[in-house]
Amino acid sequence: MNADASHAADAGAAARPEGAATGRLILLTTSHRVAPGLLSWPAWQALRTADQVLCADPDNPQLPYLREAGIEVEAATPTARELVDYCLPAASPAPSAAPSGARTAVVLTSADGESELTDGLARLAGSGRQTMPDLELLPGSYDLPGARLLDLVQVMDRVRAACPWTGIRTHEDLAKYALEETYELVEAIEAGDRAALREELGDVLLQVVFHARIAQDDPDAPFSVDDVAGGIVEKLIHRHPHVFGDETAETPEDVKAHWLRTKAAEKKRESVTDGVPLAQPGLALAAKLASRARTAGIEAVPAGDGIGYELLALAVRAQAAGTDPETALRAAARTYREAIRVAEGLPPEPVTETAVDEEEEEREAGGAWGGSCASGSREG
């Protein structure tokens, strides 16, 4: 709709006689992601000074607020011709007299736009034979950054209520998908695939919103996605005193020191190993423990026989050298995979997941949510 209206406005300017008082036609757009009534000052000015305000949708959420402000809104669906004729000044009976009575009309557009109206205005303006009023597309409210997250929450709420599969999921049901989606995100990062990265970030975000929506239904300790977001906002502010407070940090090391001090005070942990998830992959676990120990100045790498202790020593050494052993091994494993394929007489190719187990086949048969409803968006 915006493109059509802009085109109509450009064409109208070309068709308008220079210097003539031709009236004004304003198409006022609003965002459903912004609370009704929160309009820009130019929008309120246009509404208050207009000779006529029209709206085709009797349920437009802006209407109660406009009426409360004393603005009369007419429920009507005018044609392009009717609006142009309304705004244009009436011809004067005296041939030498200038036209008078130019008027301003504001059309409050619906969420779906007014394509029929804008198409009609574009046709009139593009004919070259029609004097047009000033046409203006006026945004009454704009989406803020992150506004589409509101859409995601709304869609997730609807799916949770209406989808037979989604409606009965629990945190335990979805736990494995969080791991799978995270691994797929890592794979997209390692492959340098920007399109896949964008998609996998969306799948990880879906897991967060999905879990928050499930938590909202808990009868004993419910919380919502707003509580989740509020908690991380408070954490970020509290752990960045050099950004939101009076502390200073000149280097990344200073920032890390702030973070660790604040986190230690928050968590009140007895050991530097507290809070390290033991379920993560072995090399990643070893590297995380090594990082915690090195930060605390602790040298406690155990000596022992067997490949496990050898791998542990390598992981600790890699972490001290600034290398993530898990990432390094994954890169080497990719190269190993390619070498195997070459030995088999096959061309090397990127690592992709091709195996589909019986459980996944069963999930795929369950619906369509993000490509597979029953897969918790795994294929989405």
* Listed ranges 210-224, 237-251, 274-288, 289-303; the one with the highest mean pLDDT: 210-224
Q: Could you give the CA distance from residue 133 to residue 22 in angstroms, rounded to a whole number?
A: 5
Q: Name the more confident of 260 and 124.
A: 124
Largest CA distance in the chain: 109
For residue 106, give the DSSP letter.
E
Q: Name the burial class of residue 141, with classes exposed (0-12), middle (13-18) and buried (19+) by CB atoms within 10 angstroms of its CB.
A: buried
197 in Cβ contact with 179 (< 8 Å) = no
What global pTM score does this model have? 0.62
Q: How do residues 255-304 score in pLDDT, each as one tens digit?
A: 888 787 777 777 777 788 888 888 888 888 999 999 888 888 898 899 88
Task: Compare 101 and 62 and report the one with higher pLDDT.
Answer: 62
Mean of the pLDDT values across residues 24-34? 91
Mean pLDDT across 216-244: 93
Q: Judge whether residue 140 has pLDDT over 80.
A: yes
d(CA 321, CA 315): 10
The answer to whether residue 199 scores a pLDDT higher than 90 is: yes
Please check the confidence at residue 19 and state whether its pLDDT lies above 70: no
Cα pseudo-dihedral 35, 39, 40, 43, rounded to 10: 150
> Strands of 52-55's sheet, edge to edge?
74-75, 52-55, 104-108, 24-29, 134-139
pLDDT grade, residue 100 (50/70/90)? Answer: low
Neighbours of 123 (CB within 10 A): 14
> 380 pLDDT band (50/70/90 cuts)?
very low
Cα–Cα dist 157/245, whole Å: 37
* Mean pLDDT, residues 239-260: 86
What is the identity of the amino acid at 62? Answer: Q
Q: Are 80 and 117 in contact (CB under 8 A)?
A: yes
